[in-house]
A and B are shown apart, each in its own frame.
Chain A
């Protein structure tokens, strides 16, 4: 399903450390290797504070990793500056979580969706009216919305405008940071339908952050599970429920409530909360909450190992060297 020549963007050994009180270090992302494929969706799941947003922010250059590189079009985009960086930005765009705070409240929708185009000199001011209409119709909103302000619209409509703005420059990659979490389920469904339709039409690559595994598996080609700054499992989106094997991925899956579940089943959530990223224990980051924790897990950190094509897991239980 994934062809090496379709790799559009590759993160290699990306690490981000933040300085913390008392000379300590907070490792938000620890040695992350991920690939985004042309026209496919990468879903990144994990609990709050596990570093998933930090990672996605490197891709749109809102932050720079301490170590490692992000290769796009043969260049390490984390080192770009000035004009080159400006040029690169038009290929990678972002949609934020809260559509009510990601717009300037005093700008009209027309100006909001056309601003990126004007920044890159793609259209003239006189063309704004027509272009705004086209963009709004692309996201299935009436063209007359161009005259509105963000506060005149519902959350779902605003999120559509955010998508229109991100797509205005016809980027190759869009990063969506919990773009549907603030919306009702019925609205969430229509947004996802729209996004997947546009993805097929324009062959866009999407990086999607979410913390609901049940939701993200419905539209991702590839899913990465993150825990305390580490990627613990990467797997194809299809049949995810059957093939996922890391204890943490399973725990996340068990925590999903859906309407087709067995209601008589007693839920058995994993205990406690993730430890502070300031003092990650040596060995496996998940050791304290894992019920299959063995001696080796406390000593040696597991690395990602391939189980089958496209399915990698970092857990000693599945280690090829064998014994736990």
Chain B
């Protein structure tokens, strides 16, 4: 049985329907990339999975089934149990989700103590251990730093470590590498691939970098104007698909040894 099934959902802000008839299924340990231009509704879809649609956003049609139960009927308590435990999310800039005036360690402790009954001391230890497991150098120093003292790539890896604390079955990543340099981007991509190999985590990654999407994704979903334009395996999307928009999008990706304009 699939881990996550998004069944023909419509998402509307007020009367404005922004995502229409979106269907995606995801198996255990599968990575799905959602690509598309800005404003195509790709972030809206994964936000809906975690029930995090911003003000007024609502799923008006269809259903989201996670592990056999519908997510749309959950109440606030059930949501809280799910988020962070079973499903977690990485944002574009993980530094921004943390309180700038508190040590990373303190934010981490708070996060851990929301999810389990544990003393502050143990929670601190658990946090530092988690950073170490994600191969961050010098976990103690990071726990004692403020978010602004770390570089963008480092913050992103702390974000991933926090998201992975409870080894969620599903990880949602919203443009996790867009704000980073190419070299740091490669580090983050590699780390996310390792999560799948080591923990069997399923990942949905939203990105506009088609190169990253095709490297990571077993399955690629192409979105345009709030609708799924095309979806399928990597080979299908990159080579076989006859969809005009997909072809255009793939053709626009600059590649080494590819088209030269001069």
* Residues of A that sit less than 8 Å from B by CB: 41, 47-48, 155, 184-189, 192-193, 196, 199, 211-215, 217-221, 237-238, 241, 251-261, 263, 266-273
Contacts and interface: CB of A to CB of B under 8 A. Distances in A.
B262 A257 contact: no
A255 B186 contact: yes
A30 to B, nearest CB: 20
Contacts of A258: 211, 253-256, 258
A239 B235 CA distance: 27
Given A47-B182, A270-B183, 9 more contacts: A187-B37, A254-B186, A257-B189, A257-B214, A257-B215, A258-B256, A259-B253, A260-B255, A263-B214
A220 B256 CA distance: 13
B181 A269 contact: no
Interface string B201-219: 0000000111110110000
Contacts of B193: 267
A185 B36 CA distance: 9
Interface string B174-185: 000000011111
A185 B259 contact: no
Contact of B211 (A187, A256, A270, A273): A256
Contacts of B187: 269, 271
A213 B214 CA distance: 18
B215 A218 contact: no
Interface stretch (B100-108, B110-118, B161-169, B244-252): B244-252
Contacts of B189: 257, 267
Contacts of B182: 47, 211-213, 252, 255-256
The secondary structure that dominates the A interface is loop
A250 to B, nearest CB: 11
B151 interface: yes
A221 B251 CA distance: 22
A241 B211 contact: no
Interface residues of B, number: 40
B95 interface: no
A115 to B, nearest CB: 28
Nearest to B208: A184
Given A212-B254, A257-B209, A257-B211, A218 B185 contact: no
B43 to A, nearest CB: 14
Interface string B226-262: 0000000010001000000000111111111111111
* A-B residue pairs, 4 tightest by C-beta: A257-B211, A269-B186, A258-B255, A255-B186
B183 A259 contact: no
A270 B186 CA distance: 9
Contacts of A184: 37-38, 208
Contact of A185 (B137, B151, B185, B249): B249
B154 interface: yes
B208 A193 contact: no
Given A185-B208, A185-B210, A267-B190, A260 B181 contact: no
Contacts of B137: 272
B127 interface: no
B153 interface: yes
Nearest to B254: A215
7 contacts: A241-B256, A252-B182, A255-B185, A257-B186, A257-B211, A260-B258, A272-B137
Given A41-B262, A259-B211, A273-B154, A214 B186 contact: no
A212 B209 CA distance: 12
A219 B181 contact: no
Contacts of A270: 183
A187 B182 CA distance: 20
Nearest to B216: A257
A256 B215 contact: no
A192 B211 contact: no
A252 B260 contact: no
Nearest to A215: B254
B252 A186 contact: yes
A273 B256 CA distance: 24
